[in-house]
A and B are shown apart, each in its own frame.
Chain A
Amino acid sequence: MSATSLTPSLAAADPGDASPGDELRTLNGGGSGSRRVKDRIATVVMHLAFLVAVIPLVWILWTVVSQGYHMLLESTWWTNSQRGVTVRDFGGGAYHAMAGTVMQAAVTALISVPLGVFTAIYLVEYGRGRLARAVSFMVDILTGIPSIVAALTVYALWISTFGFSRVGFAVSLSLVLLMVPTIVRSTEEMLKLVPNELREASYALGVPKWKTIVKIVLPTAFSGIITGVLLGLARVMGETAPLLILGPYTKSINMDLFNGNMASLPTMINQDRTEFLDAAVQRTWGAALTLILIVMALNIAGRAIGHFSKVKS
């Protein structure tokens, strides 16, 4: 990585101090080197900013991978729960937490995706006037609410009002509150990118509006929408506040979203980090690495879908 790589190609024609002819001097910036100096400085500053931004990322990744990888090499990590494993015992599995995280995320997506995509379709294709502005404003507000507020909102509704208990489905509900606005916004952007000419071409063939949206607009925006959904999902999977409030940890496998405590990777990390014993600390790193891998897999899948989509610009 050299700082000079971004300087303009004219600089390459600079014969240097040897014999700068008058004409070349003009080409190089009218005899003043100040523009080139500014260019150099800006280049260096930008590379430094990049480095500063990347260092903590690499550091975190390195720490988590080096501390946690050996947990993931045990096959029991992927198949067993922590049932009967005390804080002093090494090993045990994270299957219960992975299953919980994946199930809660799947239910969240199942509710959020139709809600978010339909809202975006309304805003882009149908919404006019006051109602559309109100909906758009609400989405803006939802985008800004802290996850703890989403969690407490669901707590107030699910537990205080309806008298239900703290179960996996309640966690999903609060994650829905966090995921819907991101899906609305990303889907909206993708729908706006579909050129109006395509809609008009479809109308001109005598295709009704709803069919134009279903058969022309959505397929054209499909890969972008999926990418947005996966990135949004990756984001809510790492949410912790709703889990601490609504999803108490358990060491056992629980596949029932409506009954009993349900483990998840963030609550497993939270549980084990409070024990200052080697066995628990190792499990914390292992769970953290597992969560990072799942989120990364979603990100990669999102980008791959975008990359291999049928629409080429």
Chain B
Amino acid sequence: MAKRIDVKDLNVYYGDFRAVEGVTMGIDARSVTAFIGPSGCGKSTFLRTLNRMHEVLPIGRVDGEVLLDGADLYDKNVDPVAVRRTIGMVFQRPNPFPTMSIFDNVAAGLRLNGMKKKSELQDVVERALQGANLWKEVKDRLDKPGAGLSGGQQQRLCIARAIAVRPQVLLMDEPCSALDPISTLAIEDLISELKNDYTIVIVTHNMQQAARVSDRTAFFNIAGTGAPGKLIEVDQTATMFSSPREQATEDYISGRFG
């Protein structure tokens, strides 16, 4: 498990509008990479190109290369559905399936991909919930609706659902922005445990969070409205927060931005 990602000269479009321009970067396996930057700079858009979710939008379009351990995700022969089985995603707002119980939510990915055996599912669900630090809280009510949990629990349920299909990479799009500080802490602890098994990419607006959880940080910025977002620099998190190479990074991190 856990593969590295290399992005080469990636441009992301909404129709004719270029939202992200010329990104080239590497994302290490078994580590946490954080994307930071102001709103609208394209970091979430870029994140969604890493598992081909961007093209779910009718006007979404991408050119460039995204290599997962050397294999191009945007090759003609690659099935986007298979890509998403390999690269999982956790969203900004917890989104458990409302018709399903806690158990069914975690089992959904496997079940919908054809796995039926009850005993195996039970194993996977238990492991995934333990992996998401939720098992102890829900083990006695697995048949209750997932939507009945608290916001923080729901988000960990979504993480359990994502890791139940055993992806290589886990993308997280501002996973704590809808949560209170205690639940945020629980998710951050979880992220540092998950990085032993997964390659993790997290988008966050919270620079302290980026500093706390990530090994490497990438800073994205936008020149102005209508201009495409760009990757300004990417480096070890400690370096980024102490001595960034670019002036723009320093301005943003120290709060002198815009």
Contacts and interface: CB of A to CB of B under 8 A. Distances in A.
Interface of A: 128, 195, 197-208, 211-212, 215-216, 219-220, 222, 310-312
Contacts of A310: 98-99, 145
Chain B interface residue bracket vs A: 20 to 34
Contact of A204 (B84, B93, B147): B84
Contact of A205 (B85, B93, B147): B85
Nearest to B80: A203
B195 interface: no
Contacts, number: 77
Nearest to A214: B112
Contact of B81 (A201, A207, A216, A311): A207
B99 A311 contact: yes
Contacts of A199: 56
B99 A203 contact: no
B91 A203 contact: no
Nearest to B113: A206
B99 A220 contact: yes
Contacts of B83: 206
A206 B84 contact: yes
A200 B53 contact: yes
Given A204-B162, A205-B88, A220 B98 contact: yes
B97 A203 contact: no
Given A206-B84, A207-B109, A207-B113, A201 B51 contact: no
Which of B81, B82, B83, B165 has the most chain A CB atoms inside 10 A of its CB?
A: B81
Contact of B53 (A195, A204, A215, A216): A204
Contact of B147 (A206, A212, A222, A312): A312
A216 B51 contact: no
A205 B84 contact: yes
A127 to B, nearest CB: 10
Contacts of A206: 81-86, 109, 113, 165
A66 to B, nearest CB: 45
B162 A205 contact: yes
Given A198-B98, A207-B81, 7 more contacts: A198-B95, A201-B97, A201-B161, A205-B112, A205-B165, A310-B98, A311-B98
Interface of B: 51, 53, 56, 58, 81-86, 88-89, 91, 93, 95, 97-99, 108-109, 112-113, 145, 147-148, 158, 161-162, 165
A215 B145 contact: no
B91 A219 contact: no
B95 A195 contact: yes
B98 A205 contact: no
A204 B99 contact: no
A205 B114 CA distance: 12
- Of listed B88, B97, B161, residue having the most chain A CB within 10 A: B97
Contacts of A203: 53, 56, 81, 84
B93 A197 contact: yes
B47 to A, nearest CB: 11
A207 B51 CA distance: 13
A235 to B, nearest CB: 28
